Structure 1
Amino acid sequence: MAKYRKKPVVVEAEQWFPGKHIDGVNPGGDIVFDGLKKWVEPNGKYYISTLEGDMEVSPGDYIITGVKGEKYPCKPDIFEATYEKVEQKH
């Protein structure tokens, strides 16, 4: 089997925790119907829409903005094993 190395691409990322606003991370809810009307009741979970569909976001996940502006969550251990901080020149 052939082996491949990830191209060095710089991405933006921000670690998410409840109460912190990051564009695209939204609270989830369950649709409730009482026979007359329906509404969304918060379920305490948070989600982000990705190219692969909605994904649940957990406290501490990094929200990565990809090279085409797409956003997706990444678990902290995977993020730290895959990415290193880039020093920005001013």
Structure 2
Amino acid sequence: MIEAVKWTGENWKEIDEFITTYHETYPKDGVIMIDTLEGTHIANVGDYIIKGVQGEFYPCKPDIFEQSYETTE
């Protein structure tokens, strides 16, 4: 099981509380910049932010996320 939050462009506070590593949120532009294990990655509105097994965070495009994972409440 993984933890993930979908970036809607409106839920910046939820994203800020979810991502516990360094990141910058630009709600006006719909962009989140996240420091990942592979460097800085950009999440756009509609992307999922996933918490990895080592506590790292990274963005995932919605089509890939929805094909790879089953969501629960």
Say how many residue pairs are matched. 64
Larger Rg: 1
Q: Could you tell me the TM-score, scaled by structure 1's length?
A: 0.60
Q: Percent identity?
A: 49
Higher relative contact order (CA 8 A, sep 6+): 2
Structure with the bigger percentage of helix:
2
Q: Structure 2-normalised TM-score?
A: 0.72
Q: Which has the higher strand share?
A: 1
Q: CA RMSD in A?
A: 2.2
Structure 1, unaligned runs of 5 or more: 1-9, 29-43
**Post-superposition, which runs of at least 4 consecutive aligned residues in structure 1 deviate over 2 A?**
none
2:41 is matched with which residue?
A: 55
Q: Deviations over 1:37-79 (max 9, x none)?
A: xxxxxxx343111110111111000000011111000000000
